[in-house]
Amino acid sequence: MTRTVLIVDDESSIRDMIAIALEMADFQVLEADNAQRALALAVDERPDMILLDWMMPGISGVELARRLKREETTREIPVILLTAKGEEDNKVQGLEAGADDYITKPFSPRELIARMRAVLRRAAPASQGVIEVDGLSINTESQRISIDNQPIDMGPTEYRLLAFFMSHQERAYSRAQLLDQVWGASVYVEERTVDVHIRRLRKALGERHDYLIQTVRGTGYRFSRQRSRA
């Protein structure tokens, strides 16, 4: 699954450099040049991880980290702090603020990505293992979907689509976003293709559960246990 990363740094050159590296590693990238915008994006887009510059005019990285950890909706998102080289104090402060790791500039893309993966893995238990909604459960280890413990079959794409939805419930996604997240950022297919796979997924879920995949007219789709309308 493609992960979304929010990069927060006031220098655009650094943001761009990181963004390029991450995109090559098949991450989806969001950028913010200040804490305000970062906070908004974090709440709005729910990235899988945030890279945060330590030193920024206005609200500093640490302060932002602290706020992120206070917000209900962003608390679970892992944060990596980017700091100028080696003041030990930084580490302490940063980790106290709730950052999950920190890395000192200059760093190589490889190192950054290695750290990110490590952090994501640690954070994974949230999305790993089993998610269950109304008898429908997905087990990411066995890569299997079951309804009332009865395994059901679907194609790989439908599986990934459902996996994405179940770990991002209650939020509407556009076709373009779904293509990025489920198909991968570097694939080009028609947006309507999403519709077809949605259709296949609904069919696989059966009448009792297809209500979970909801159409958001004019926008895209959403996974939600709340039936809309009576």
The number of beta carbons lying within 10 Å of the beta carbon of residue 54 is 22
Residue 192 in contact with DNA, rule: CB under 7 A: yes
Residues 48-77 that bind DNA (CB under 7 A): none
Residue 207 in contact with its own copies, rule: CB under 8 A: no
230 binds, among DNA, its own copies, none (CB under 5 to 8 A by kind): its own copies
Residue 133 in contact with its own copies, rule: CB under 8 A: no
Size of the site for its own copies (CB under 8 A): 37
DSSP calls for 47-100: -SEEEEES--SSS-HHHHHHHHHHSTTTTTS-EEEEESS--HHHHHHHHHTT-S
The number of beta carbons lying within 10 Å of the beta carbon of residue 6 is 24
Whichever of 114 and 196 has its CB closer to DNA, that residue is: 196
Least Å distance, CB 162 to DNA, is 12
Q: Is 14 exposed, middle or buried (0-12, 13-18, 19+ CB in 10 A)?
A: middle
Q: Enumerate binding residues for its own copies (CB under 8 A).
A: 13, 16-17, 19-20, 23, 111, 114-115, 117-118, 121, 139, 141-144, 150-153, 155-156, 170-172, 216-219, 222, 224, 226-230
